Structure 1
Amino acid sequence: MKVLSVVGARPQFVKLAPVAEALAGRCEHVIVHTGQHYDARLSDVFFADLKIPAPDVHLGIGSASHGHQTGAMLAGIEDVLLAQRPDWVLVYGDTNSTLAATVAAVKLHQKVAHLEAGLRSFNRRMPEEHNRVLTDHAADLCLAPTEVAMGHLRDEGLAARSTMVGDVMTDVCLRVAQAVQDEPPTTAGVDPEQGYYLATIHRAENTDDPQRLHRVVESLAALDHPVLLLAHPRLVATAERQGLPLAQGSVVVAEPQPYPELIRLALHSRGVVTDSGGLQKEAFLLRVPCTTLRTETEWTETVDLGWNVLDGDLVDVAAAAARPEPPATDAAPYGDGHAAQRVAAVLLGETGSTSES
């Protein structure tokens, strides 16, 4: 059997790591990198740090508008699928790479499995929301990370082709956290003794409007402890165009970090401030309070359990970040750390129970 994985962005590389490990030696696994994240800090370093096999195909698409980028990926992936003829095309998450691979596969009548299916923000202004909904409805197999996601798939009439496997990013996060928990961060400008917040900002709704981005940076500068801002290249370029300095007040700007260092930084922080989907969940898994600069989240369990607060209107980010830590919980809505094994079992048609209990 041949499984072909299509990835292109940092969160997808993290999801790919445990899946590639679970499939190793059990089938032919072809990895296609679209090049959506072409910066080495957001791409190459993840393959090295997470011990992911090098991509078999690198399309090198790079950055562009949504339409141009997705179209270029669609054409490139189609050629790969015609050459490879896989039994499954496995797509991850909700990026333009996800949608392009899905459309290319279904046009060729090749089976698509969507990992992280069923997530919904119900915000149709987010490109990611369109990508994930369209992918779910085109896919032959929807691999859901949570019961909430399964509920969304049932509501949309997709129950018959959906299965609950758990969240593969949980597999990686828990393993890496155990390895780095006793090691202090090495990123310049961080003092765990003094205390700091970890911040990431990259979504278009927070960066493209100059007034909005100015308010976001002001909010970070107003926090009661220093802030380490891991600045995505998109954020740096946008701030430069707007003439906006990111290093205001006690905000320290650093480059994106390798995944183990990111987890180490989050573990030792007072809290996380972000608009990232993945980092919200990782903060919860690490039991670090998170403040999300969005009005909605796909990971509603983080809010329901008190570890995540949404402040998309930037009402008082400082107060939200400095709030008391919520009550301890042993809730595990994202699984037990063995989701990738379930994914492999479903794709390979192995008998027995594959859903999370």
Structure 2
Amino acid sequence: MKICTVVGARPQFIKAAALSQQIKNFNGINEVIVHTGQHYDPQMSDVFFEQMSIPRPVYNLAINGGSHGSMTGKMIQHIEHILLIENPDCVVVFGDTNSTLSAAIAASKIGIPIAHIEAGLRSFNMSMPEEINRILTDRVSKFLFCPTKTAVYNLANEGIPSVNLSKNIPCIVENTGDIMYDAVKMFGNSESFDKTILNRLRSDKKNIFVTLHRQENVDSPDKLTSMINAIGSIAQEANVIFPIHPRTKNSLKKFKLNLHPNIQVSNPLGYIELLQIVKRCDLVMTDSGGLQKEAYFLKKPAIILREQTEWLELIEQNSAFLCGSDLDMILSKYRKAINSDVVHRSNLFGAGDTSQRIISFLH
């Protein structure tokens, strides 16, 4: 059996690492990895392949920059060419990036079954490019591997699997759990990381870990200004560690925004370094979908710097707090979250065996 795994962005490298490790345990599976190049900075790409021993991509398309349409169009063209050469039995895609949608369109047009990992997630905000990507990918996928019961419900509410059924290619919807949980269990106790990053932690103050990168946040001068001011206010009393995404760095410069001098700025972290910081911090502030869950898996409260989240389970049990970009709301939720204990329910996101379950379905 040949599987073609398509990745292009940081969260996908992490998920692919967990899946690739499991593929090694199955005889007779050949994995061909295609890297679209959507995240092209070495700190956003190369470090993940090195740290997590992901097999090197057979193809690296180096497609990045430009508009969503331009990027997606180029990816479809190149991925289709690769699929015609490799003729895999299945194309595996993760999440909701332009790389995800491009691979799904290319595969569907030439009749190759698609396995969508993290199917069924919905923010119900169609202004988000990610929401469009995930909905369209679900529509053309044969295997829809959902991370939660809510994701399965979302698909059923949209008429899936019935809308995807055909006489020859039945659609399979399965709650396999969250593959990110596999990754945290796999790499959370690793000692193969740069220990100097731990010097950024303080013992005399609360440690707050911040990430910020989503287009709807950092491309908006009003939203970004409000968030940066809120983070600066928190930095007056807490130790704030803020690895800056390239998109965010460019926006700070473009909008002439200055960070509070107490904020500890760094380049983006490798995955293992990130997990080690989260394990030792007191609270996470983020607009990342993945980091919301990583904080939960490591029993840390999270402030979600977005108007909506796909992970409603975290909000419902007060493990994370949704606050958008409003400065007063961010500070209010921060004061509540910093003194809260995370409720960690067993099997909310599966048992940490998602990769094995997915490969068992595909094999």
**How would you bin the TM-score normalised by the shorter chain?**
over 0.9
Is 1:283 paired with 2:295? Answer: yes
Match of 2:256 in 1: 243
**Partner SS, residue 37 of structure 2:** coil
Q: Matched residue pairs, number?
A: 347
| Per-residue CA distance 1:89-120 (angstroms, 9 max, x = gap) | 11111000000000001111111110110000
Which of 184, 187, 198 aligns to 1:176? It is 187
Shift of 1:328: 3.8
**Partner SS, residue 222 of structure 1:** helix
Q: Equivalences for 1:1-357 in 2 at 5 Å?
A: 1-24=1-24, 25-159=27-161, 160-179=171-190, 186-187=197-198, 189-223=200-234, 224-245=237-258, 247-314=259-326, 315-323=328-336, 324-326=339-341, 328-348=343-363
| Per-residue CA distance 1:231-264 (angstroms, 9 max, x = gap) | 000000111111112x314222111101011011
Aligned mates of 2:190, 2:156 — CA distance in 1: 38
Q: 1:292 to 1:46 in 2, by over 3 A?
A: same
**Are the counterparts in 2 of residues 37 and 63 from structure 1 also a CA contact under 8 Å?**
no
Aligned mates of 1:305, 1:341 — CA distance in 2: 28
**Are the counterparts in 2 of residues 185 and 264 from structure 1 also a CA contact under 8 Å?**
no
**Partner SS, residue 174 of structure 2:** strand
**Are the counterparts in 2 of residues 197 and 272 from structure 1 also a CA contact under 8 Å?**
yes
Greater than 6 Å deviation, 4+ residue runs: none
Runs of 5+ consecutive residues of structure 1 not aligned to the other structure: 349-357
Shift of 1:270: 1.2
Runs of 5+ consecutive residues of structure 2 not aligned to the other structure: 162-170
Q: 1:180 to 1:286 in 2, by over 3 A?
A: farther
Aligned mates of 1:242, 1:132 — CA distance in 2: 31
**Partner SS, residue 197 of structure 2:** coil
Aligned mates of 1:295, 1:190 — CA distance in 2: 29
Alignment-mate amino acid for residue 154 of structure 1: A
Shift of 1:291: 0.2
Query: In percent, how many aligned pairs have the same letter?
Result: 38
Aligned mates of 2:262, 2:208 — CA distance in 1: 10
Supply the RMSD in Å over aligned alpha carbons: 1.8
TM-score, normalisation: structure 2 = 0.91
**Are the counterparts in 1 of residues 287 and 305 from structure 2 also a CA contact under 8 Å?**
yes
Shift of 1:61: 0.6
Shift of 1:26: 3.7
Alignment-mate amino acid for residue 87 of structure 1: D
Alignment-mate amino acid for residue 235 of structure 1: T
Shift of 1:332: 2.6
Shift of 1:187: 4.9
Q: 1:327 to 1:226 in 2, by over 3 A?
A: closer
Aligned mates of 1:201, 1:164 — CA distance in 2: 29
